[in-house]
Structure 1
Amino acid sequence: MDRRQFMAASLAAMSAATGYAMPPARRSPNFVVIYCDDLGYGDIGPMGGREIPTPNLDRMAKEGLTLTDYYAPANVCTPSRAGLLTGRYPIRSGMSRVLNATDTNVMPLTEITIARALKPAYTSALIGKWHLGCNNPSWAPTNYGFDLFYGIPYSHDIQPLRVYEFDRSGARSEWEPDYPRLQQMFYARAEKFIEEQANRPFFLELALSSPHLPNYPAPGFQNGSANAGAYGDTVMEIDAIVGRLMKKLKALGIDQDTLIIFSSDNGPWFEGSTGGLRQRKGGAGFDGGYRVPFIARWPRHIPARRRSDAIAMGIDILPTFCALGGLPLPANELDGRDLSGVLLHGARSPHDELVLFQGEEVVGIRTQQWKYVNADMYQDYFILLEHRGYPQLYDMTRPGEQYSVASLHPDILKAMEQRLSRSAERFGGLRTGPSVLEKQRSAVRHRHVPEQWEGD
């Protein structure tokens, strides 16, 4: 049985199991992930945003599925991108902190990325922002399974910055970025890649570097957002890119063969809307830093106008693509789960729980109904909340994480505390340094923090 036959048989089996009639698979699907940088949950219409017009994303959501409880793998950039590409919590790859231009660390070459997992059946490109290491001879995305890289090594606020293009042939070019036109250049190269690969399965990560600050709206988008400033202008530009992509796929006749996923690497930074979620990018265990937009569109496969609160995370993309592409999972240990049932049939989440990290610290556990948070940011301190007498348990059917219900549900609290403890123990051996609790205790002993923290 070849791969296309396996794909058709797999979809037929899923259809029989769920009772949902799937159209016959003409070919293995293409995969496009549009990955924004610092886009907030409330910045776009499908997630409830009203300040910034996003008609193309609104249409994408109407033609597909919106996940309301989808989490980025981390609340900051580098670890989130590692989690997306590997299907593993970032602590497993040692990518738990944001890398800068002088870091010599890179994601280990032993990690199996989506691009590697889909080989040799798929041709893969990463266009846009990388941010998994650059100051090392082995940093190139083509060393991680991608056939093409066109983009920047890290965020567009880090200097020095160059735009690179290279493939597996060894040919390479680089130039100074034209900041206002950068996103348009990313999309233009992505479109060229899609045209080149239109007759064979491909995987494209279009990793836009907007709306990360500073904002550089492209010509034609300046001052287009009445109330959201330059940030809103860049979100409108992103929305226009989504519209161009959907139009191009239809023009090439591969619209029904292509699954598009739209999301963000973490929540908003100094600007942008969390949509009422608590905290922001880098903000310990609360949802504003982790919970991000997720829209999936695949005409005639994903039913239109569907919304689901099934919990999911960026680590799920790799196993989902393997399942939909009819390919085996990598042999290494994955934390992600196959979301194809959620996407295609409205199934419940395959996760019993999701683990939230601040760096290498386990700071939160999310189940379908409950959330337990063990850390927060206060003044200049990252503080652990256990043993302080005010445990933070939230009923996630109520928005905003505003009031702990620990006193109302002592049995749930105990169970969630045990979940977090097991996860902390499970991942503790992967640390590269002492835990936050150990560092805080050391600081107290040496009087590097105020006396009121001696209870830590």
Structure 2
Amino acid sequence: MVLVSAQGDDARKPNLIIIFTDDQGYQDLGCFGSPDIKTPRIDQMAKEGMMLTDFYAQTVCGPSRAALMTGCYPFRNARRDKGEVPHPKLALAEITMAEVLKSAGYATGMVGKWDLAGHSQTKFDMNLRPGKQGFDESFWTPGSNDAFVNLLRDDQLIERKADLSTLTRRYTNEAIQFIDRHKEGPFFLYLAHTMPHTKLAVSTQFKGKSKAGLYGDVIEEIDHHVGRVLDHVKKSGLDENTYVVFTSDNGPWWVKKDHGGHAEPLRGEKCTTYEGGLRVPCVIRAPGNIKPGRQSSQLAATIDLLPTFAALAGAEVPTDRVIDGVDMSAFLHGEAKEKDRSFFFYQHKFLRAVRVGKWKLHVPHTQSHRQGLGKKWRVHMRPENRPFIEEVTLYDLESDVAESKNVASDHPEVVARLMKRIAHMRKDLGDGGYRGENARALGKDDYFGRGIEGK
């Protein structure tokens, strides 16, 4: 691990909070156009801060969390399981956001869904718990709430099969208590809600309140508790020195029907690499640092949060490995123009598309793309999004955000330019069964061993 500790007065460093929801669609906030889900607290957060309308995560839960924590495309990260498993057991040799911020004197806390030690409530690797990945304190559940949720505090199991309807409130209570313990700062809090991943559950206070059914009830309860966090930050006198990011891990889970969310006007859903699969709502609030009422279509992503937070904290990002994210702090502060950059769309290990500016290019599905998870995941998609792509497909997202008209034949020069970026990424990171030259070691005991021994 190569990190450089920051110098200076810790008291002046900003506090950093990420609120991460699960399977919440692009449209599932009032400020992002929901016609029937009311989210007054997050809407107000957007008015007081900034909305990023072209913000990307990853296609599914575990990879999305790996990307957030490491600033890298998930396929780049080393892991302690077979690469065919979609949800990674993140190797301890990886350097997380929490570890980067600890090097700069931050107290670090994790609350909620972890999903980086095994996608199971019972069969997970305790050696990969949050406390082994840079978090001083953790109140967490190992994976999703497909059937039930067990709760742990640090390395101790404290409750089996917790009442799902209490989780949003309990997570928020724990987050507020963490803020109280570390209000002298600086602190980093990662609050990862279990909801609105199914099974859906909501407290009596919010049951039946939304026009959007149970799913809407769940989102409106999350909104209420986001407000509690913001209120507590302000009450604690930390408002002017705290950045709060609200976003989601991937698009809505279409197969869950009324218990899934919405991504309109985007095409696609969870498990696809159309816009609705990876583009998620994002709101950032930082009074005194981010001008209120801003809205930007700057291409940005969860992989950018690690280098951005490192810059805000005066920390150094790892220098011994590729980090895919970029520092967006100057842009957020209005001190720099929008960045011209690429974003690559991976469906697990398959490179599906690239976006540069307004252009998005989908590559044809190869034979390997049509096997294994590439085939299996299609059941999670709307029927119209299931067909394999047979030819290079180019969309102008500025005029066609729904990805409905292939304009590749009209812009051969754009196709050629973007195909060069695809070729570079295949060499650098990989695609399908090929691991690129800068993908980190997969299954090498010496690499994993160094990470384990170092912690």
Q: TM-score range by the shorter chain?
A: 0.7 to 0.9
Alignment partner of 2:253 out of 245, 255, 269: 269
Helix, strand or coil at the partner of 1:117: helix
Q: Is 2:275 the counterpart of 1:287?
A: yes
Equivalence for 1:108? 91
Question: Match for 1:202: what amino acid?
Answer: F
Q: Is 2:279 the counterpart of 1:278?
A: no
Q: Is 2:331 the counterpart of 1:342?
A: yes
Helix, strand or coil at the partner of 1:187: helix
Measure how far apart 1:148 and its partner are. 1.1
Measure how far apart 1:178 and its partner are. 1.1
Equivalent residues in 2 for 1:48-87 (5 A)? 48-72=33-57, 74-87=58-71
Q: Is 2:129 the counterpart of 1:140?
A: yes
Q: Is 2:215 the counterpart of 1:231?
A: yes
Alignment gaps of 5+ in structure 2:
119-123, 255-259, 366-373, 380-384, 437-455
Equivalence for 2:448? none
Helix, strand or coil at the partner of 2:333: helix
Separation (CA, whole Å) in 2 of partners of 1:358 and 1:122: 34
Question: Match for 1:109: what amino acid?
Answer: L
Q: Is 2:34 the counterpart of 1:42?
A: no
User: Equivalent pairs: percent with the same residue?
Assistant: 35
Provide the aligned length of Structure 1 versus Structure 2. Answer: 401
Q: Is 2:316 the counterpart of 1:328?
A: yes
Question: Match for 1:269: what amino acid?
Answer: W
Alignment partner of 2:414 out of 412, 415, 418: 412
Equivalence for 2:350? 361
Helix, strand or coil at the partner of 1:334: coil
Equivalent residues in 2 for 1:174-213 (5 A)? 174-213=159-198
Question: Match for 1:187: what amino acid?
Answer: T
Equivalent residues in 2 for 1:390-405 (5 A)? 390-398=391-399, 399-405=401-407
Q: Deviations over 1:235-284 (max 9, x none)?
A: 0011101111111011100011110000000000022110211110001x
Separation (CA, whole Å) in 2 of partners of 1:174 and 1:229: 29
Between 296-305 and 343-352, report the one with greater CA deviation: 343-352
Measure how far apart 1:156 and its partner are. 0.9
Measure how far apart 1:224 and its partner are. 0.7
Helix, strand or coil at the partner of 1:69: strand
Query: Structure 1 residues 369, 99: closer, same or farther in 2, change over 3 A?
Result: closer
Measure how far apart 1:428 and its partner are. 2.1
Question: Match for 1:360: what amino acid?
Answer: K
CA contact 1:310–1:348 (8 Å) conserved in 2: no
Equivalence for 2:428? 426
Separation (CA, whole Å) in 1 of partners of 2:402 and 2:92: 39
CA contact 2:117–2:126 (8 Å) conserved in 1: no
Separation (CA, whole Å) in 1 of partners of 2:431 and 2:398: 34
Alignment gaps of 5+ in structure 1:
8-25, 435-456
Measure how far apart 1:431 and its partner are. 4.8
Q: Deviations over 1:401-440 (max 9, x none)?
A: 1111112111111212222122122222895789xxxxxx
Helix, strand or coil at the partner of 1:61: helix
Equivalence for 2:76? 92
Helix, strand or coil at the partner of 1:155: coil
- Normalised by the length of structure 1, the TM-score is 0.83
**CA radius of gyration, larger in:** 1
Separation (CA, whole Å) in 1 of partners of 2:335 and 2:394: 28
CA contact 2:351–2:432 (8 Å) conserved in 1: no
Measure how far apart 1:346 and its partner are. 6.1
Separation (CA, whole Å) in 1 of partners of 2:210 and 2:410: 44
Separation (CA, whole Å) in 2 of partners of 1:253 and 1:112: 31
Between 241-250 and 368-377, report the one with greater CA deviation: 368-377
Equivalence for 1:119? 102
Helix, strand or coil at the partner of 1:293: strand
CA contact 1:312–1:351 (8 Å) conserved in 2: no
Helix, strand or coil at the partner of 2:409: coil
- Normalised by the length of structure 2, the TM-score is 0.83
Alignment partner of 1:371 out of 343, 350, 360: 360
